[in-house]
Chain A
Amino acid sequence: MLSENEIKILDFLKRRKESTSQEIAEGTGLPLSSVFSIIATLESKGIVKVISEETRKVVRLTDEGKLRTEQGLPEDRLVTLLNGRPLKIQELRNALGKDFEIGFGWARRKGLITLENDTVIPKVSQYVSPEYTALKDLQAGKEPTGEVLEILLRRKLVEVKEEKMLRVQLLREVETRPAELYVTHEMLTTGSWREYEFKPYNVEANPPFFPIGKTHYFRDFIEKVKDLMVGLGFVEVSGDFVETEFFNFDMLFQPQDHPAREIHDSFVIEGKGNLPGSDLVRKVKEVHEKWWRYSWSEDNARRLVLRSQTTAVTARVLSGAPKRIRAFTIGKVFRPDSIDATHLIEFHQMDGLVIEEDFTFRDLLSTLRDIFQGLGVKQVKFKPGYFPFTEPSVEVYGFIEGLGWVEMAGAGLLRKEVTEPAGVFSPAGAWGIGIDRLAMLFLGVKDIRDLYSLDIEYLRSRRVI
């Protein structure tokens, strides 16, 4: 397989059999440096042979030399500008810019002009300098010598460089076919693809960026939890973020002067909601006043908050007085807090509710163990706990390698003070699990804010297993 440039050189050599690198460069239009490297490749393929290698001095135009070859030398341009008439220095300066000084110097030295006060008087009406002629010759391939070369070197219009020259001989004829990049529909239709050489790709180079679509890793975790709960026989329910204190607190038997209900513990929304029309409210008021011994205020219960626990959803489900249910919800809750690597003011909870006639505390512990095993927490232990709305209450600890026992959930059987006002008379188990912290443990996330990252490169770079 030959590259396009290799073919060019071989085609050139086919006509000559033997040639120099410089002739090849000229003949093919390839830069000399490329010619050297292609010759080396062809030699390694055994197609050409380098007969000799010599170094010679060559004269090359400098950048300024190239410029002067195009524009003319400054003194030439000065004389042309004068065109046989005297002109003020200032006018010439304006016309020639920074070339004026050079042109003026050389023109005086060469006796082409004289200066009277501020006026330049030409002594000739036309002038082509020998330097310019030499530059043009060089461009045409004829190198300057002797005095002219000296002057050009001094004026930094040319430089002398050492250049390698290879003499190359073609060893064998190779069939050279035109090289193509793409296979086309037409080539396939006509079969003409056989006539082409297809350029090899640089298959080992890294590709350019290709954005792929990807699911969000934390939401994947949440979906996994949902699947687990569905597998355990639970029906998913959901609720709204804005909630009355009635469902967020009162129905859950949290007295209105409970420290958790102080203003700095939940986000308050202006306005008041409506309470359910049933006698649920009256019964909730009764149990509060009976057990907590204060005067329960309907007005406080109507206050609006961003729900601080998904147990508010459980309370809503309960208010529908289901006879028998297994329900769960996963959603955001909101609590004022300082924001740092382990705290945010919004996070997820997974609340569950079981109402079954023969449901026991032992069944609750069993269910919790099943949930955590499903999540991959092999070992759990139960600590007696306290929540205003459950009795008995339990805190669930899970064992995490490298961390030890970590508190993972709060649970219990709902108090009768919670279920009976709602018209539920069977035992009811309930729990709340903080999902963000679990996700951090399982996903190896150190900073909770990364679960809600605004950096797309972070999301793109996270592996999915």
Chain B
Amino acid sequence: MPTINLNKWILQDMTGLNEQELVDYLFKLKSEVSPVSQDEYSIEVNADRLDMLSLGGIVRALKGITGKELGEPSYPVKDTDYVLEVEKVASRPYALACVIYNVKLSPDFYLKELIQFQEKLHDTIGRRRKKVAIGIHDLEKVEGKIIRYAPVSLSTTFIPLNQEREMSVRDVLQETPQGKQYGNISVWDSNSPAIMDERGILSVPPVINSDRTKITGNTKSLLIDVTGTNFESVMETMDLLATALAELGGIIGRVKVRGMSVDRSPVLRHTSVPFSLDDVNKRLGIHVSRDEAINLIRMMRMEVETNKDLAVIVPPYRVDIMNYTDVAEDIAMAYGYDRFTLESGRTASRGSLSEKSEIYRKLRTLLVGAGFQEVYTLVLTKSSYQRGEAVNIANPISVEYDSVRNSLLWNSLVFLSNNQHSRFPVRIFEIGDVVNRDDSKDTKYSNSTRLSMAIMDSRVSYEMLQAPLHEVLLNLLGVAPSYRRFESDIFMKGRSAEVVVKGETIGRLGEANPELLRSFGLLYPVLLAELDLDALRRVM
């Protein structure tokens, strides 16, 4: 979840709320507040509420939930002479711009907050600038009224933000940290997208702005450009920025747009989401009246169309409202999750354990009775421990866990290897899932539930394990298993067998091959058994 830092005193001053009230109300708005310093809060915001990644958005939401201001605020909007001309930019086709007058970027906190909002939008809706990128400029430093979005050749030069000298776009991409991080997103055919005024480059999306139009504490008005690969997301980002700044006193200046599907920007889009009060009440399990519902929606800073059927007029900053279920959630939040009265035991249905769990429980009781300690190990293991085909992880984070176990035997051996200095004998069992190839499944793999048993002692003999295994199976199935000689490199020659029940092989047991013991660093003899519980279930 994204986290933003905001100045304590400004937030308290703008909302008229003390610290405890801020904590409580923001909790109701899906957010968590923790003080990070004397002057700062860190606020965790949920990923759907992009509007709340800004000071303006948080203040707007808080004023609503506390009932201080209701409905959608009316922000001043005026048309400007600025024109955005969008040319064909194959790698990043969409661009919008807007102007904001009367911004306040001083004291320093405001400037930092704006840049933070920009970065959070980059990371969320912008998908780390791949989908959307934002450039913010000091309008007074922009020359001319025509802003162009067009491809430029990589040899075009400009002074990038916070650099001293003129650099080519190519050098910026190769040498600056931003260039290295984002440079490869939009470059194609030796071209890069650029936002330009009459004098030259203002920004190279999604990489960096020019130094020439850098914003400072003295900046009074802004030119904002938003570019991206998805028009809806570009439009929403523009609306989020404009409305957040307007909440703090900015005046939105509309820019004429050429070459896009809209001719004005910001679009400040409103959508209508119809809903029936009955549906909402039924979904929530509460009974709010029509007037109450309208009031609750207005507390969430949205308006309701009441002429005919009810519909929420979704303001430009609420990009998360899709259909009536989202309306229901907003009503529930304004109503207060803590106000829901809870009931107990409304179900009359009968629960049951899975067959797997039933067998697991019976087996473990018998195995404990046989004196075996249950162990529980991880599913992920080191591929070099395993024999036979196993699922390997393409992007492991450690060689210790780069594959999924295909048998429990390796886990038992690792366990024993870790306990060579413990009190003997060590008698263990584990019941758990392993993964094997299974072409009948849509994933080509399936889980298989296994039982492993192992004994380590200073001296072992086949019967020490065969006898308890035999009794456990006899007690579980009511049928005595039989044993068929079976050789494998896991076991010592002549000392292993398959376990057979009703003609079906359900597992194997024997004395571990010293070669195998050596590969697990084991210096004591070991008996091993593994049963396939799915096969066991088939013979039950």
Contact = CB atoms under 8 A, between A and B. Distances in A.
A238 B354 contact: yes
Interface string A344-384: 11100000000000101111011001100000000001111
Interface string A310-353: 00000000000000001000001010111100001110000000
B364 to A, nearest CB: 6
B29 interface: yes
B232 interface: yes
A433 B48 CA distance: 21
A280 interface: no
Contacts of A304: 443-445
A285 interface: no
B370 A213 contact: yes
A230 interface: yes
A382 B30 CA distance: 10
Contacts of A271: 444
Interface stretch (A48-56, A194-202, A455-463): A455-463
Interface stretch (B69-77, B192-200, B389-397): B389-397
Contacts of A427: 282-283
Contacts of A361: 283-285, 328, 332, 340
B376 A385 contact: no
A416 B447 contact: no
A214 B373 contact: yes
Contact of B346 (A218, A293, A363): A363
B332 A454 contact: no
A276 B441 CA distance: 11
B233 A240 contact: no
Given A336-B395, A416-B323, A211 B350 contact: no
Contact of B446 (A231, A240, A275, A391): A240
Contact of A362 (B340, B347, B392): B340
Given A213-B373, A269-B391, A332 B349 contact: no
Contacts of A415: 325
Nearest to B128: A259
Interface string B369-391: 11111111111100000000001
B46 interface: yes
Nearest to A338: B397
A393 B320 CA distance: 13
Given A219-B374, A365-B337, A456-B426, A233 B379 contact: no
Contacts of B433: 241, 332
Contacts of A211: 371, 373, 423, 425-427
Interface string A407-450: 00000010111000000000100000000000000000000000
A138 interface: no
Contact of B345 (A209, A235, A274, A370): A370
Most buried by A among B326, B361, B373: B373
A79 interface: no
B182 interface: no
A264 interface: yes
Interface residues of A, number: 87
Nearest to B433: A241
Contacts of A294: 230
Given A268-B395, A345-B397, A326 B423 contact: no
A11 B265 CA distance: 119
A244 B28 contact: no
A1 interface: no
Nearest to B324: A416
B318 to A, nearest CB: 13
B401 interface: yes
Nearest to B398: A339
Nearest to B395: A268
A382 B337 contact: yes
Contacts of B286: 362
A110 B49 CA distance: 113
A240 B342 contact: no
Interface stretch (B170-178, B183-191, B414-422): B414-422
B47 interface: yes
A184 interface: no
Contact of A241 (B341, B344, B371, B379): B379
B312 to A, nearest CB: 14
A234 interface: yes
B285 A363 contact: yes
Contacts of A391: 325-326, 328-329
A451 interface: yes
B347 A326 contact: yes
A346 B379 contact: yes
A242 B435 contact: yes
A394 interface: yes
B447 A293 contact: no
A216 B372 CA distance: 11
Interface in B251-284: 282-284
A431 B76 CA distance: 43
A243 interface: yes
B397 to A, nearest CB: 5
A341 to B, nearest CB: 16
A349 to B, nearest CB: 14
A244 B443 contact: yes
A386 B49 contact: yes
Lowest 9 A-B CB distances belong to which pairs?
A: A360-B285, A362-B285, A392-B329, A230-B351, A213-B368, A386-B46, A233-B347, A216-B374, A242-B445
10 contacts: A230-B353, A269-B392, A273-B443, A339-B398, A360-B282, A360-B285, A362-B341, A386-B48, A392-B283, A454-B415
